[in-house]
């Protein structure tokens, strides 16, 4: 009986492999679908087989990459640093395609840290120029980006960048804003601490504007004020080149993510490296789900407790000496929670609007040659 079962399983698996449609973007025949940011890359037979085996298990929906090792690669290959960074970009384009092939529709990458401004002027200028080229090129591929539903977001303190680059970035972000088939978040002029401090600053702004109260500040609200608020937390964080630290990248968002450190240098990253990381994610999946669920339960309890305290305070202020019965107390609590949620909702809309305005203003200033 076991042999029969194994046979059925094998047949089912092979059918799935040969008949499965790629979950990624469907390429229309006859039209140019070349995009500089997402390479054309067919999976080989064995790669497709492996992909399908992996997809039988839980798959990450959002993967973050610390693309480390460009300079060491350049040294190894006896080329200029700038060439290392260039190849790094090519590898990003290829890896995005591989992620789409695996059904991973959201990717966040650490392209440029605020700490990287400490590098030589030559290298920093070179990286800014590379960014200019890539964003400019992106803007010419608008049709393909729309067809494939690619949404580009840039996270960081963009005011630290040259103004022309800010404008190019803004244009790319605004142009792809409505796309929703796959998401690429590029962290540029970014550190996690700056992001967290900025989120706190925005909440303080909300208090200044009278939109929220200090007691509305919570773990959930802080998360919604980060640059990455439109994305779910990464399921998997991969760092290449053998370093085993987070280097100020997504510290808040990856608290419950699977961390995989791989020794391969970024420009040499392969499909197999990606599969290895996904496998690691699958092995940690159950524990991480449990930890995440437990954490979310804790967050909900904390929020309820905070709401109760606020209601108690309010009732005390309002109090006429008469103790309230449990039913009225419960009603007050529900009312308070509803009004807090409404306040927070308005605040988050105002924040989103503020951010959108910055981008649309910059975008309309941009003059693309």
Partner 1 sequence: MDEEYGGFLSETIVSNGRNNSRLMEGILKQQQELLGMDSSKYSVEFMKNGTDKQEHQVLSCQSVVKVLSPDDGRLSIVQAAQQLCRAVELKEKTSKDINVTVLDSLLRESKNIPDPDLVLKFGPVESTLGFLPWHIRLTEIISMPSHVDVSYDDLFGALQRYAMCDQRLGK
Residues of the shown chain interacting with partner 1 in the complex, contacts defined by CB under 8 A:
113-119, 191-194, 196-197, 199-205, 207-208, 213-215, 217-219, 222, 243-248, 251-252, 254-261, 280, 283-284, 287-288, 291, 294-295, 298, 302
Locate 176 and state its tokens.
């792809």
Nearer to partner 1, 147 or 239 (CB): 239
User: Least separation, in Å, of the C-beta of 214 and partner 1?
Assistant: 4
In whole angstroms, give the CA distance from residue 281 to residue 258: 6
CB 150, min distance to partner 1, A: 29
Ramachandran area for residue 113 (φ above 0: left; ψ -120 to 50: alpha; else beta): beta
Q: Which residue number, 52 or 247, has a Cβ lying nearer to partner 1? A: 247
Q: Quote the tokens at residue 43.
A: 């999976």
Tokens 């308070």 label which residue? 336
C-beta neighbour count of 283 within 10 angstroms: 12
Q: Angle at the Cα of 262 (from 259 to 268), degrees rounded to 5?
A: 135
> Please, what is the Cα angle at 362 between 155 and 172, to 5 degrees?
55
Residue with Cβ nearer partner 1 (95 or 253): 253
Distance in angstroms (rounded) separating the CA atoms of residues 126 and 128:
5
- Distance of closest approach, residue 92 Cβ to partner 1, in angstroms: 19
Nearer to partner 1, 145 or 203 (CB): 203
**Least Å from the CB of residue 244 to partner 1:** 5
CB-nearer residue toward partner 1: 31 or 213 = 213
Q: How many CB atoms lie within 10 A of CB 176?
A: 21
CB of 225 to partner 1, least distance (A): 9
């Amino acid at each position: 009986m076991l042999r029969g079962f194994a046979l059925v399983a094998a047949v089912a698996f092979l059918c799935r492999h040969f008949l499965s449609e790629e979950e990624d973007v469907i390429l229309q025949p006859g039209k140019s679908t070349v995009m500089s940011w997402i390479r054309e890359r067919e999976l080989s037979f064995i790669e497709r087989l492996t992909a399908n085996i992996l997809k039988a298990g839980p798959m990450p929906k959002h993967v973050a990459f610390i693309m480390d090792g460009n300079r060491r690669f350049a040294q190894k290959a006896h080329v200029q640093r700038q060439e290392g960074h260039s190849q790094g970009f090519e590898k990003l384009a290829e890896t995005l395609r591989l992620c789409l092939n695996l059904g991973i529709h959201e990717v966040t990458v650490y392209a440029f840290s605020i700490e990287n401004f400490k590098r030589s002027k030559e290298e920093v200028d070179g990286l800014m120029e590379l960014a200019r080229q890539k964003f400019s090129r992106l803007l010419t591929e608008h049709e393909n980006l729309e067809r494939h539903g690619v949404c580009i977001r840039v996270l960081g303190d963009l005011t630290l960048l040259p103004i022309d680059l800010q404008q190019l970035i803004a244009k790319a972000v605004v142009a792809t804003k409505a796309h929703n088939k796959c998401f690429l978040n590029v962290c540029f002029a970014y550190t996690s601490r700056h992001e967290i401090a900025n989120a706190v600053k925005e909440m303080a702004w909300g208090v200044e504007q009278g939109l929220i109260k200090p007691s509305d500040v919570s773990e959930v609200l802080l998360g919604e004020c980060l640059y990455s608020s439109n994305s779910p937390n990464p399921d998997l964080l991969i760092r290449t080149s053998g370093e085993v630290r987070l280097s100020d990248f997504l510290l808040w968002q990856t608290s419950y993510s699977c961390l995989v450190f791989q020794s391969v240098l970024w420009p040499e990253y392969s499909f197999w490296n990606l599969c290895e990381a996904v496998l690691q994610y699958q092995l940690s999946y159950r524990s991480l789900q449990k930890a995440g669920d437990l954490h979310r339960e804790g967050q909900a309890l904390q929020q309820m407790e905070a709401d109760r305290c606020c209601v108690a305070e309010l009732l005390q202020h309002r109090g006429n000496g008469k103790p309230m019965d449990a039913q009225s107390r419960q009603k007050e609590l529900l009312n308070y929670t509803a009004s807090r949620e409404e306040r927070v909702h308005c605040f988050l809309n105002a924040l989103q609007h503020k951010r959108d305005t910055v981008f649309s203003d910059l975008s309309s200033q941009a003059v693309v040659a």
